[in-house]
Structure 1
Amino acid sequence: MIQTITQKFTGSRSTLRAAEHRFIVIALVPTILFYLIVKFYPIFFAFFISMHEWSLFGNVSPFVGLDNYVLLAKDSLFYKVMWNTMYRTFAGTFLGAFCSLIVALILNPIKRGSILLRLIYFLPVMTSVIASATIWKWMLQTRFGLLNQLLSFVGIQPVPWLQSTTWAMPSIIVMGIWGGIGFTVIIYLAGLKGIPKDYYEAAEIDGASSIQLALKITLPLLKPVVSFVLITGVIGGFSGGFQAIYMMTGGGPLDSTRVLALHIYDYAFQRMFMGQASSMSFVLFAIVLILTLVQFKLQRVDWEL
């Protein structure tokens, strides 16, 4: 009798477990379908288009194999675009991370009015890119821009910020740092709040200075946060920048601000070379994928340490 009851109990548990498994599978189906349709299908379809001389007008698209990738490898403009993209990405990410860290270190000890100060720094993040780009384009105008008007008061000649191949990209980078500094500051502040105060108190008892506290305690313990900020910034830099650059310079002058996202748009919807645009998109996808894997690896190492 006891054996019979045990068998029934075991059977009911296995039935319940099977029902739970079926429920989990059914619950996951919409999410899996969403990712397959919205995430993975465009990736595979972009690779498919990159293998064809694709047309948006429904014409027959002959298979060309790797010809579009060969054209990229031979295109000098593509290398210039990649250089512009890397220049904007790495300069903007590292300078932005440094400036954000300085601001976070200044804001962290402040108690009174700290919420208002954080809101002020976060306002550029809440402002649309189109509005921000329009404001910055007006500020950087050669003749009537606010910045050149201020420079004229100290006897400096107007600088063609957006019309010069020397100053156009730095201007774009500064605008990008201004637009993203608030978000990065919030991340740094969250990391700073997670550092135990006991470490600082013990170091101060031992006679450590403010600089020593920052170098020996703050920065080492912020290493995972800094790694996260840098890697996500680089990923966003490679895949972003289209709206601001399109509004402010259109990729000029002389393609000095043309980045990969703008280049893909130009080939796809201006020149109608969908095959080459898709091949560039797949190159961009490969770069972002590699950087994402590097981020996961670095974060795992940081947390293990």
Structure 2
Amino acid sequence: MSFQFALIGYPIQHSLSPWIHEQFLKKAGLSGSYSIVEITPDESFEQRLTDLKREHINGFNVTVPYKQKIIPYLDDLDVEARRIGAVNTVVSRNGRWIGYNTDGKGYTRSLKQHYPAVFADKDIKIAIIGAGGAARGIYDALVTAGFHYVDIANRTVSSAEAITELQQDQTNTAVLSLAGLGNKLDHYDVIIQTTSVGMKPNQDKSIIQLAPSLKKDSVVSDIIYQPITTEFLKQAKNRGAYTHYGHTMLLYQAQYAFELWTMKHVPIDDMENQLQQILEGR
């Protein structure tokens, strides 16, 4: 059997997903391909999906701006994707399209791989910066994993409050302004930056200033992967914090998607270093 996978979104010509999934296919000993299906805003989204279905594709990833728009065209949703309200992975089973969201679980996999001690104490204090789709997926994964204290900080507090609908019985969540978070950074063991602030070409910017109150032994994470070391992470390093990089989330959410498509688990091995070299060369 030869697998057919794809990515839909716009713009996506420079996506690294083809490279990642071609590596996974090799590691799994499977034949197949992964293609880019760019759908521009002036095209018929419905017609392009109809064309994709005719190709009997085994599965595809979904990125901006279609993570919500894809939902009415699916036959079913996984419980996590339904809760989060966004889909980034579609699996074709017996001609039916089923939507999943691998962002949150991919993030927690990557964090656990690098900092397993974080998962040994569910009473640690976690802060998520941002209130977009990534923040929503990561929050859901953290509370599902059983963490008791997960706060959300955002410029627009009402957007952060909307994420608390995902709160579970064991979870305590405070919603903060960015200034409010900045005043109590020493309260947190893990801080996760999920906004686009600091992404190329604006790599000199940081969503908040981490000095002087950041805890020295905290874990500071940024899901941006261009650049690999953001201004936010540079500040964390200067304060003696541990850092966690965005390109690892990219790999581990793709790993989970590949498992959903093929029922095969493939190890990341040296792909983190390879991906970092590719990104640093861009």
Higher strand share: 2
What is the TM-score with the length of structure 1 in the denominator? 0.22
User: Which structure has more RCO (C-alpha within 8 Å, separation ≥ 6)?
Assistant: 1
Higher helix share: 1
